[in-house]
Chains A and B, each alone.
Chain A
Amino acid sequence: MAKVLLEGALFELTLTRLAAQLVENHHDFSQSVLIGLQPRGIYLALALHHKLQGMLQREIAMGRLDVTFHRDDFRRRNLPLVPSALDINFSLEAKQVVLIDDVFYTGRTVRAGLEAMMAFGRPSKVELLVLVDRKYSRHLPIQADYIGIKVDTRTNEKVKVKWMESDGEQGVWLLTEDESNAK
């Protein structure tokens, strides 16, 4: 039985808190942009984008970054890496960037994201926002600035974030190896 980490009102509350923390540090977002990491970070980025625009009553720039071609496990895993769409139609030069992903695990995706992002200009500052931080499992010296929930997990477990628009339900679940294979 999958363990529920976050759902319902608490899930919404976490998103609202993350949005409020962003406003504390980025004020009116005039020099800040949101960048979601493909594929699953996009849903979180969209949810926060929606909340922030509601709170600030202004347009906030948001892009989708695909890191497939920058990954360090190309030709090292048994499944081919399939790219997703990349959509950043503004320059990141001198901007404050908030990188957004749903689950923060080894840190390798974020490393690839940092590298991929540099093709769009030199940001003045980059911060990392994640919904779930799997503690003590980093392979690289990377930490998140904004965290929805911290969890202790084993390497054979999987954290699954579901979104209303793609999965029909919303929340965070911890799955065992058998459960994630069955999915």
Chain B
Amino acid sequence: MSALSVKHLLGIKHLDRSDIGLIFSTADNFSTILNRQIKKVPSLRDITIANVFFENSTRTRISFELAEKRLSADVVNFSASSSSVSKGETLLDTVNNILAMKVDMVVMRHPHVGACHFLANHINANVINAGDGTHEHPTQALLDAYSIRKRHGRVEGLNVLIMGDILHSRVALSNIFCLLKLGANVKLCGPPTLIPKNIESLGVAVEYNLDAALAWCDVVNVLRIQLERQKDSYFPSLREYARYYGLGLERLNRLQKEITVLHPGPMNRGVEIDSRVADHPRHSIILDQVENGVAIRMAVLYLLASDPATF
């Protein structure tokens, strides 16, 4: 197995287990490169990549941009607020204009579910989904699973808890697909208003009591409370949320074991995660996630670019 089964990375749902394995083994190579003095290789030197962000992002955009530059690709950045989108241009027109400038790959974040699928159906370039609405965020799920694998040596058979705002989270959905494909056991935890109905049909369990869920898990992925999407009252107050669903150090200390803590960022310290947990030298691998993110994105870009169908 030396090539991905897909031309675009739109979601984890479309990948199979061997694809994920190939991405991980390629990321191992890039991880070695990122830890040496000269962190750059010339693989994508004749490729141009457009980062098209219709929604705010700091770390995902920087991580992609760094990955592209480490592979020697030419990069153009585009953000909706400073473009013709605000003048009423359609998504397809915007992207076709960018492609007319001979761009080979598009990395896109968009607030609408399925925007990347729409794009992939209409253009020839490889499309990488960097987050579409509340749907999928595949590279985040890959780097989460990769970080877990680096810490524990495996993903299969581990009990992984995803806690927090599942309803609004694209990270949650991609993580569920990815972890299940790799053979982990997945449980969700959060207030009932923030857990989608019938989510069990995906093959995950739901637990509303955080302490019980923590006692079960080996790894916990803490999701952000998306303050910008909380116009409806999903819970009475942040203070109450922090009390019932905040990951505090006392909670971890009560457990008779050590669990690994992930957070896709940006963190609301004192809400879903306590600072002492986020900065904990043994429990937290949050900064490892950021480091692994560049290697994973390099692997995805490299593997999609090497597909003979695209050149």
Interface, chain A (partner B; CB < 8 A) = 66, 68-70, 74-83, 85-86, 115-116, 118-120
Contact = CB atoms under 8 A, between A and B. Distances in A.
A80 B3 contact: yes
Nearest to B22: A82
B306 A120 contact: no
Contacts of B3: 80
Given A74-B306, A75-B311, A80-B303, A69 B43 contact: yes
| Secondary structure call for the A interface | loop
A116 to B, nearest CB: 8
Given A69-B42, A74-B43, A79 B2 contact: yes
A80 B306 contact: yes
Contact of A75 (B26, B29, B36, B305): B305
How many chain B residues sit at the interface, stated as a range, is 20 to 34
A69 B33 contact: yes
B303 A66 contact: no
B42 A70 contact: yes
A31 to B, nearest CB: 20
A83 B26 contact: yes
Given A75-B306, A119-B36, A82 B2 contact: yes
Interface in B274-311: 302-303, 305-308, 310-311
Given A69-B42, A69-B43, A79-B2, A85 B311 contact: no
A39 to B, nearest CB: 13
B104 to A, nearest CB: 9
B86 to A, nearest CB: 36
B306 A119 contact: no
A180 B18 CA distance: 28
Nearest to B310: A75
A165 B153 CA distance: 28
B43 A80 contact: no
B255 interface: no
B37 interface: yes
Given A80-B3, A80-B303, A86 B32 contact: yes
B33 A86 contact: yes
B2 A119 contact: no
Contact of A85 (B29, B42, B302): B29
Nearest to B43: A69
A119 B33 CA distance: 9
A80 B308 contact: yes
Contacts of A77: 308
A147 B33 CA distance: 31
B91 interface: no
